[in-house]
Amino acid sequence: MGARNMMGAGNMMRRLLVLAVLMLAGAACFAPKPRVVHEELKPPAEKGGAWELAVTVANDGPGEGETEVTSRLHDPRGAVVAQEQREIDLRPHETVTVTLEMRPSAPGPYRSTTDVQSPPM
């Protein structure tokens, strides 16, 4: 292969690399930007029932797509005693409430924490 052909191949590879980087950057710009707005934890209505955690998630961006909601119940010492995950679809600037049921082995009391991630891992 001549030197001129090798230089042409190098230029083509650089162009493809730049195009790939621009496509990835563009995709990231249009993904949702989720944020937990509110959490409300309700104890079981009856003995042995599930704890209900209502999580309100807002999409602060113009993008849309799947978002992973991961909530945990912690005992008074901070140990995680239950965890639930759910994937939700968010539209631009949409706010959604999802209810998760958790069944820890002991009666409580508990506190909740929730993380949101988009796109899901």
Per DSSP, the residues of the chain read --HHHHHHHHHHHHHHHHHHHHHHHHHHHTS--EEEEEEEEE--SSTT--EEEEEEEEE-SS--EEEEEEEEEE-TTS-EEEEEEEEEEE-TT-EEEEEEEE--SS----EEEEEEESS--
- What is the pLDDT averaged over residues 27-38? 84
pLDDT higher than 90, residue 119 = no
User: pLDDT tens across 69-84, in order?
Assistant: 999 999 999 999 999 9
Is the domain spanning 32-117 CATH 1.10.1060.10? The answer is no
User: pLDDT tens across 2-19, in order?
Assistant: 555 555 666 777 877 766
pLDDT of residue 19: 66
pLDDT higher than 80, residue 54 = yes
pLDDT of residue 107: 85
Q: From residue 36, how far is each of 25, 47, 96, 105 by CA, in Å?
A: 24, 29, 10, 26
pLDDT bracket for residue 120 (50, 70, 90):
confident
Query: In the chain, pLDDT over 70 holds for what percent of residues?
Result: 81
